[in-house]
Structure 1
Amino acid sequence: MTPKLIIFDCDGILVDTEKAANEVLSGFVSRAGGNISPDQCHLRFTGRTLDTIKTLLETEEGLILEPDWADQVRAADLVAFEKGVDAIPGIEAVVQAVRANGISYCVGSSGKYEKMHATLGSAGLLPLFKDVLFSAQDVPNGKPAPDIFLYAAKGMGVDPQHCIVIEDSLPGLQAARDAGMRAFGFTADPLADEAKVRALGATPFKAMADLPALLGLETPA
């Protein structure tokens, strides 16, 4: 069934920000007395909001974090992203194929609007997405709750059953499943677990070049 709406996650799907962001996060954890490597940050926290991560660090690691800790991390992320952010290889061709097939698309991200504007702008993708951005800052619960994807679908005027989500995180894929949407999990990262992607009912794929065919799209000549 051809979708009516494709919802893209932002970090790790549109822009390559996660290495820098996880290094920043690991540093903040270390300064708070914890010890979580950038790779472990990636495995444990990718796809979640910083407010959720703060709660997890306090409850699971016993860290005592300042009330504005999440805002401090966001500010440090923006400084790191000023060094430059690359688009995920092949994503522009995917978006062009979606547009050529007359299918609506948008972004549904755990990141705040300021971050999306900064990263998409740096990667040269903002003109494609600036009018169709949806952030978890506007919903009660971040991923793995389905709120952001349901919010995006409602904002675009499409029923969830007619939506497809493109994600790279397990919390994001769980959110898509619980929203009643089909999902494709990007597993190019060496740390990605295809078995867990499939367990969440999603279809794994390793290269953006493969995605148009998986979506049943005709590609522009």
Structure 2
Amino acid sequence: MRYDLVIFDNDGVLVDSEPISNRLLAGYLTELGHPTSYEDSIRDYMGSAMHRIHDVVLERTGQRLPEDFDDVFHARVFAAFERELRPVGGVVDVLEKLAADGVPYCVASSGSHERIRVGHRTTGLDRWFEDGRVFSSQDVGRGKPAPDLFLYAAERMGVVPGRCVVVEDSPLGVQAAVAAGMDVYGFTAMTPPGKLVGANRLFSDMMDLVDLLVSSAE
């Protein structure tokens, strides 16, 4: 394998959370007087840190979201996670293979540390991501599409950016990985391939990722 570190996005890549969170986000924004469909939410906010939602709404409407917006939204999301969240199909097999082969990996997510922990605990993925393998946009000043989070994760894992590959399913995440000088594999299970411009490779089935990583060295 040509890479010294595999960096996973979380939502939509490790846990199948995007349908849940975007459904709830669209509903909550609509409640607050900002009509938003599920498709709108996927297009505008998928892969975003929370601050970007505030920024986009303010820019478009001139209105600020309520101060408790993040807390209310997260409470709704976490409750839904407990009922509905599942790991992305095939991702446990991928993690087992990376661990067996001694390939370093971590997660770098736009979500908060609490959101990552809740999702991993609910799906049983927490055993694959002990302390030191979990990085959040909370750890850096700017979330995706800025490269800061991926650069921070690589630094903490002791790997130079050029030896990292990022697994992403959002346009913002792909942009961030490219800006960080890392290769990026675009996961197209939920995202049209044409939206992941800049990805080195595209794949729609998580079970194909290991073969892609192996073939990258050939």
Q: TM-score, normalised by structure 1?
A: 0.92
Deviations 1:103-158 (A, max 9, x none): 10000001111111111111111010132100110100000001110111011011
Pick one of 204, 207, 215 that aligns with 2:205: 207
Distance 1:216 1:61 in 2: 47
Distance 2:16 2:62 in 1: 30
Aligned to 1:196: 195
The farther-off stretch of 34-43 and 136-145 is 34-43
Distance 1:182 1:39 in 2: 28
Aligned to 1:172: 173
Q: Secondary structure at the match of 1:73?
A: helix
Distance 2:138 2:113 in 1: 8
1:100, distance to aligned residue in structure 2 (A): 2.2
Distance 1:109 1:56 in 2: 19
Aligned length: 214
Question: Which contiguous aligned blocks of 4+ residues in structure 1 show a shift greater than 6 angstroms?
Answer: none
1:210, distance to aligned residue in structure 2 (A): 0.9
Aligned to 2:88: 88
Aligned to 2:34: 34
The farther-off stretch of 100-109 and 173-182 is 100-109
Q: Secondary structure at the match of 2:54?
A: helix
1:76, distance to aligned residue in structure 2 (A): 1.7
Q: Secondary structure at the match of 2:84?
A: coil
Q: Secondary structure at the match of 2:106?
A: strand
Distance 1:64 1:147 in 2: 26
Note the 1:51-130 alignment, pairs <5 A. Answer: 51-130=51-130
Aligned to 1:143: 144
1:68, distance to aligned residue in structure 2 (A): 2.8
Distance 1:98 1:135 in 2: 21
Distance 2:138 2:173 in 1: 15
Distance 2:64 2:108 in 1: 30
Q: Secondary structure at the match of 1:65?
A: coil
Distance 1:202 1:173 in 2: 10
Corresponding letter in the other structure for 2:173: G
Q: Percentage identity across aligned positions?
A: 39
Maintained 8 Å contact 2:186/2:199:
no
Distance 2:92 2:61 in 1: 39
Distance 2:16 2:61 in 1: 28
1:32, distance to aligned residue in structure 2 (A): 1.4
Q: TM-score, normalised by structure 2?
A: 0.93
Question: Structure 1 stretches of 5 or more lacking a match?
Answer: none
Q: Secondary structure at the match of 2:105?
A: strand
The farther-off stretch of 148-157 and 208-217 is 208-217
Distance 1:73 1:39 in 2: 18
Q: Secondary structure at the match of 2:23?
A: helix
Residue 91 to residue 21, structure 1, CA distance change in 2 (3 Å)? same
